């Protein structure tokens, strides 16, 4: 019953999956999630009764319904409470077995509060972290354990969910303002909501933090980026003013329009906009004072010579607005800095000779306009030939980067789910030959194979992005090497048999010697990539998977009887988008794939402190090697 695809789908499932005999309800197989929930090895589960291993007690009514599943083709979906823990249990019959799916819930299942909470959690644009509070005997908060976070929290604080779940909130982000921890602890103790604002220097954000207690012993914390919201509001407000000014017939560039708006908002008689050059003067973008001492440089730009007292002004020194009275022959002067995102001053918006000076409303209006032209001015300083076109291109680039980041986060799940359903249904139909005509079988094989390739291409893109951004970590677990290589064989037997190829496995360790501490997911991923390459480039014969122990190292090898690789191409075979094709034109390749499997494998090997190499001759096949340190598993005493 458990062929390659079913085994693969079972291991990839987030729920704890158990396959049990339909008569005795004895466990036949279980996935890694089930082993993790019970904190035991798979071998300790196989052969036991389901009633002996479930982490909760099953009442007589549910037990009777489970017995009916196989006979009456019914399904079970119930929530069960055991002590303070809540679980969801699903049971269904599948061929000759009964499938149990168990999920541990974080709060009382089925309640209106939980549904509202999950809806808020999944759809909110704010950063969100859900905490479990640990108290001492005196009722004081000891620490707050992270139960869950959303993707926006990951983006705000540059963390990954799987790396911080279960850790203490107080330790993972030490640069968070102490007021946040105080608000969290007060909410945990009193159940009353709290809020505060703080600057987070690592990402240069200004957060509003709100805390509340959805249920006793738990605290939810919401982070809103006030700076981003303010920038969006100001940007929309200023864009509206700019558009209105152009619509009214202004025949000038952006800087001239902004200067007119500044003069109008402040009731000033004169003003100018410019940036501070390395020569110590101002290069004007716009001005309305014909008496200013201007020098035209070799590039045709107007330069205003600055007096010494201007260079020592508060505006230049601190990057903050400054007003002066009776300055250089002018009754009132307002200088507003134009700054980049890091607070470095780039330019100046200066207005003077307002009849009654400058109040707070006038200052805020000028600052909004100065913030609006800051990106455009930065681009002008870097390349004077680009003005409006360059800032628009910059905005498009920033939007594209955000889109790319969101795409890489979501694409794997969004494509894998329908792809897995397609593959599962194809395999089920192929097993029920009485449902299909013989001429239909090749079409379903094609659908299955190409959907499987699509899943691996998506995973490859996601993994390559993580490797390039140094976001890959090593997670060692107790692993049976023989089970690992057998799983790879079972998973790819289906595709190999479609090409009339064999997959052989050679094992050299037995018993306890084969139980090691290793990042099984990465090792398995590397071996699978080598096996799939072998299948792709082999037309007769097959693939042999082997591992040996040499000088304290595990050396895995995957040998195929395929086309082989030319000597001149072997040095670059681990580079991105390299493939063993004579044709470099992607549209003419016949081997499939995008040339990322070996690159990702090499990246995983490097992260684990290992290495990869190959031996190959054209038309005689290839052998790829992976060497990692052998670390035998020692059970804790």
Residue 119: per-residue pLDDT: 61
pLDDT for position 584: 43
Enter the CATH code of domain 250-382.
3.30.450.40
- Residue 564 contacts residue 573 (beta carbons within 8 Å): no
147 burial type by CB count under 10 A (0-12 exposed, 13-18 middle, 19+ buried): middle
CA distance 569 to 579: 9
Q: Express each pLDDT in 199-252 by its tens digit.
A: 887 777 788 899 988 777 889 898 988 776 666 666 666 667 666 666 655 445
Half-sphere exposure of 90 (CA within 13 A, CB side): 8
Which CATH class for the 112-229 domain? alpha beta
How many CB atoms are located within 10 Å of the residue 492 CB?
A: 23
Beta-carbon neighbour count of residue 58 at 10 Å?
Answer: 16
Pick the more confident residue, 269 or 440.
269
Residue 556 pLDDT greater than 50, yes or no:
yes
What integer is the mean pLDDT of 398-417?
A: 66
Structure confidence at residue 614 as a pLDDT band (50, 70, 90): very high
Closest by Cα among 409, 612, 600, 632 to 522: 600
Rounded (5°) CA angle 314-339-398 = 170
Q: What is the pLDDT of residue 523?
A: 94
Per-residue pLDDT reduced to its tens digit, 362-382: 888 888 888 888 888 888 777
Percent of the chain with pLDDT over 70: 80
The CATH number of domain 4-105, selected from 3.10.105.10, 3.30.450.20, 1.20.140.10, 3.30.470.20: 3.30.450.20
Mean of per-residue pLDDT scores for the chain: 80
pLDDT tens readout for residues 100-113? 888 887 644 445 55
Q: Which pLDDT band holds residue 582 (cuts at 50, 70, 90)?
A: very low
Domains 250-382 and 472-629 share a fold: no
Split at pLDDT 50, 70, 90, the class of 593 is: low
List, in sequence order, every residue forming a beta bridge with 19; answer none if it has no partner.
29, 99
Q: Spell out the residues 6+ positions from residue 586 whose beta carbon is closer than 8 angstroms to its own.
A: none
Which whole number is the average pLDDT over 158-164?
Answer: 86
Helix and strand totals (H; E) in the chain: 20, 24
Could you tell me the residue ranges of all domains in the chain? 4-105, 112-229, 250-382, 393-466, 472-629
pLDDT tens-digit series, residues 424-473: 887 777 777 677 777 777 787 788 778 877 877 777 777 777 777 677 88
User: Which pLDDT score is estimated for 591?
Assistant: 44
CATH node for 472-629:
3.30.565.10
Query: How confident is the model over 278-322, as pLDDT tens digits?
Result: 677 788 888 888 877 788 876 677 878 765 555 556 777 777 888
Given this model, what pLDDT does residue 237 score? 63
pLDDT recorded at residue 75: 80
Asked whether residue 138 carries a pLDDT value surpassing 50, the answer given is yes
pLDDT for 545 equals 95
SS3 445: helix
Residue 183: which H helix or E strand, with range?
helix 178-190
pLDDT in the model for residue 405: 54
Roughly what angle, to the nearest 10 degrees, separates helices 481-498 and 520-537?
30
Check pLDDT > 50 for residue 612. Answer: yes
Q: Hey, is 402 helix, strand or coil?
A: helix
Residue 587 has pLDDT above 70, yes or no: no
Question: 131 and 146 in contact (C-beta within 8 Å)?
Answer: yes
Q: What pTM, to 2 d.p., does this model score?
A: 0.36
């Amino acid at each position: 019953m458990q062929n390659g695809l079913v085994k693969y789908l079972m291991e990839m499932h987030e729920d704890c999956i158990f396959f049990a005999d339909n008569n005795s309800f004895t466990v036949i197989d279980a996935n890694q999630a089930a082993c993790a929930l019970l904190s035991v090895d798979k071998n300790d589960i196989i052969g036991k009764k389901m009633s002996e291993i479930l982490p909760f007690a099953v009442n007589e009514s549910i037990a009777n319904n489970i017995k009916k599943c196989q006979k009456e083709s019914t399904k079970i979906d119930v929530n069960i409470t055991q002590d303070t823990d809540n679980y969801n249990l699903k049971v269904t019959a599948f061929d000759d077995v009964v499938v149990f799916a168990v999920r541990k819930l974080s709060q009382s299942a089925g309640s209106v509060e939980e549904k509202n909470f999950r809806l808020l959690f999944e759809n909110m644009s704010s950063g969100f972290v859900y905490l479990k509070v640990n108290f001492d005997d005196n009722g004081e908060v000891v620490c707050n354990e992270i139960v869950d976070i959303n993707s926006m929290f990951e983006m705000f604080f540059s963390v990954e969910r799987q790396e911080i779940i279960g850790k203490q909130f107080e330790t993972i982000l030490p640069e968070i303002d102490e007021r946040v921890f105080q608000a969290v602890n007060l909410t945990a103790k009193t159940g009353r909501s709290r809020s505060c604002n703080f600057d987070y220097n690592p990402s240069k954000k200004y957060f509003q933090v709100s805390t509340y207690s959805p249920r006793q012993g738990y605290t939810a914390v919401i982070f809103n980026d006030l700076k981003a919201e303010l920038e969006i509001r100001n940007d929309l407000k200023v864009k509206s003013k700019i558009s209105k000014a152009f619509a009214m017939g202004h025949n000038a560039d952006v800087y001239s329009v902004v200067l007119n708006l500044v003069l109008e908002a402040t009731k000033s008689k004169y003003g100018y906009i410019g940036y501070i050059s390395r020569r110590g003067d101002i290069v004007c973008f716009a001005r309305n004072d014909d008496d200013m001492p201007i020098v035209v440089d070799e590039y045709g730009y107007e330069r205003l010579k600055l007096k010494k007292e201007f260079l020592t002004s508060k505006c230049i020194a601190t990057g903050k607005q400054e007003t002066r009275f009776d300055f250089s022959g002018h009754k009132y002067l307002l200088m507003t800095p134009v700054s980049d995102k890091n607070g470095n001053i780039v330019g100046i918006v200066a207005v003077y000779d307002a009849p009654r000076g400058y109040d707070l409303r006038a200052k805020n209006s000028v600052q909004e306009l100065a913030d609006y032209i800051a990106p455009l001015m930065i681009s002008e300083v870097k390349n004077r030939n680009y003005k409006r076109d360059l800032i628009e291109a910059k905005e498009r680039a920033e939007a594209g980067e955000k889109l790319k980041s969101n795409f890489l986060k979501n694409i794997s799940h969004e494509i894998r789910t329908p792809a897995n359903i397609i593959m599962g249904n194809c395999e089920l139909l192929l097993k029920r030959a009485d449902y299909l005509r013989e001429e239909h079988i090749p079409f379903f094989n094609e659908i299955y194979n190409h959907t499987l390739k699509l899943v691996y291409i998506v995973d490859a893109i996601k993994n390559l992005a993580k490797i390039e951004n140094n976001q890959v970590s090593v997670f060692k677990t107790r692993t049976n090497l023989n089970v690992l290589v057998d799983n790879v064989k079972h998973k790819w037997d289906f595709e190999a048999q479609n090409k009339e190829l064999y997959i052989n496995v050679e094992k050299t360790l037995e018993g306890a010697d084969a139980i090691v501490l290793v990042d099984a997911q990465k090792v398995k991923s590397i071996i699978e990539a080598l096996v799939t390459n072998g299948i792709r480039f082999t037309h007769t014969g097959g693939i042999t998977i082997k591992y040996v122990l040499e000088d304290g190292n595990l050396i895995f090898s995957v040998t195929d009887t395929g086309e082989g690789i030319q000597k001149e191409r072997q040095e670059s075979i681990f580079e991105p988008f390299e493939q063993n094709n004579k044709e470099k034109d992607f549209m003419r390749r016949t081997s499939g794939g995008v040339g990322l499997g070996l690159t990702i494998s090499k990246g995983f090997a490097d992260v684990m402190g290992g290495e990869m190499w190959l031996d190959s001759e054209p038309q005689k096949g290839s052998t790829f090697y992976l060497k990692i340190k052998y670390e035998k598993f020692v059970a804790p005493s």
